[in-house]
Amino acid sequence: MSHAYVVGHIGIKNPQAWDEYRRQVPATLTPWGGELVFRGKQAAVFSGESPYSDIVVIRFPSIGAVNSWFSSPAYQALIPLREQAAEVVLVSYDA
């Protein structure tokens, strides 16, 4: 069975706002079958440059579910908080 993933590369600007954003995101994932796979902090850069301190990986059942989650009113409502809290690059992948 194939899945789709969202990978977020994160540079935190406001830790308190980031904590609030992270607290609210899981409820937006549930209707689309999204689940947190991994969340971590950068330990080392072995090749190239990475300006981001944190990463998140979220698995979905399909690219359609990813697109539905991202465009959902529930997630869209969190984007202003996300932008206040951190610099985030979100990329979707089909596996």
Q: What is the pLDDT of residues 7-33, one digit of tens each?
A: 999 999 999 999 999 999 999 999 999
Per-residue pLDDT of the chain (95 residues; tens, 9 = 90+): 689 999 999 999 999 999 999 999 999 999 999 999 999 999 999 999 999 999 999 999 999 999 999 999 999 999 999 999 999 999 999 99
Give residue for tokens 């690219």. Answer: 63
The DSSP string of 55-83 is EEEEEES-HHHHHHHHHSHHHHTTHHHHH
How far is 94 from 28, CA to CA, in rounded Å?
20
Helix (H, G, I), strand (E, B) or coil at 2: coil
When divided into structural domains, the chain yields a total of: 1
List the domain range (segments joined by +) for residue 15. Answer: 4-43+50-94
- Write the CATH number for 56: 3.30.70.100
Can you give the pLDDT at residue 1? 67
Q: What is the pLDDT of residue 33?
A: 98
